[in-house]
Structure 1
Amino acid sequence: MKNLLSLIALTLCLCFAASADMQAQDYKSAAGLRLGYPWAASYKTFISESSALEAYVGYRGYSGFSWITINGAYQIHKDIESVDGLQWYFGGGAGVQLWNSEFFDGGETTFTVSGYLGLQYTFADAPISVTADWVPTLFLGDGFGSGGFGGGYGNLAVRYVLNSGGK
């Protein structure tokens, strides 16, 4: 857990240090935190005008269980014309969860398939992008890390814009 928090802190420090000339209204990539289920360090980059790739690594623990999650997603963004800087997006992705439990010996691995539906707002005068999304997830595997469908996943993400243009 301490190593994960150190990695997140280091990532944020590097993001702030590496940025010089930022225009957040139209950005190519951003890094930050997904705050929700799970908490995660996130990197998002646009590969075209409306298509983005997001990767995130997170941690979650409760009731004697904990896991590290590694996920990737492809998202399609659409402008909401009535509000500058606001977009809605949808997409899909996959991930892997590395489970541990105080009730069982050892750990287990679970694979996931997820959908994404959300809103993104990028500030015009600050290099910050904020998203809120719903991430329904199907868990694949057997053992204590599996469990079928999870419809309660989602996040509020805050990202610092690393470079502008190109989106």
Structure 2
Amino acid sequence: MNKKTGVFIASVVVAASFQLASCMSAYKQSVGGDTSIVVSKTFMTEFDVAWQAVLESLKSARLDVSNREGGFLQTRWLENTSEKNLADSFGSANAYLKAQYRLKISLAKGFYNGKEAVKIGVQKEQLVERDVLEGWRHIESDSVDENTLLYRIGRIIQIKTTIVRIEEEKTEREIRESEL
């Protein structure tokens, strides 16, 4: 088998896999399956710190469900028609009459390499309405908002742990100075 044949076979396999993947998501959507993506990240911190970081990152959004014991948060539906129309104006000519989304955040305690860790998953449900007769239609997320929220949560966790570490060092220094 020569090099050209190998490249051709590889390109056919890649094209076929993309075709099958798109067919599968269309099939899932047609039978009412969940095609939304859950973006998750593991943070090396305590559950309480992660929970507070999630609440702080969502302070501008009103919460619909807040279950600390279950590790689940859900925002109310937030209107984002202007953002969707602005973003889609560069890509398509169709504008949305209404658009709304909500975020679902799950937190799970665990251990990673013997240290306490929390896995945080973010899922965005986006609904759009092009006209009154069509009704609300679910569209897939581009994962930008989910990754942005996880970044914010990570930065808040980093700030909180840095503050705790500095306070502990200050306390130890004051104890040593008082012993002298």
Task: Report the TM range for the smaller structure's normalisation.
Answer: 0.3 to 0.5
TM-score (norm 2): 0.34
- Where is the strand percentage greater, Structure 1 or Structure 2? 1
**Higher-Rg member (1/2):** 2
TM-score by length of 1: 0.36
Q: Which has the higher contact order (CA 8 A, sep 6+)?
A: 1
Higher helix share: 2
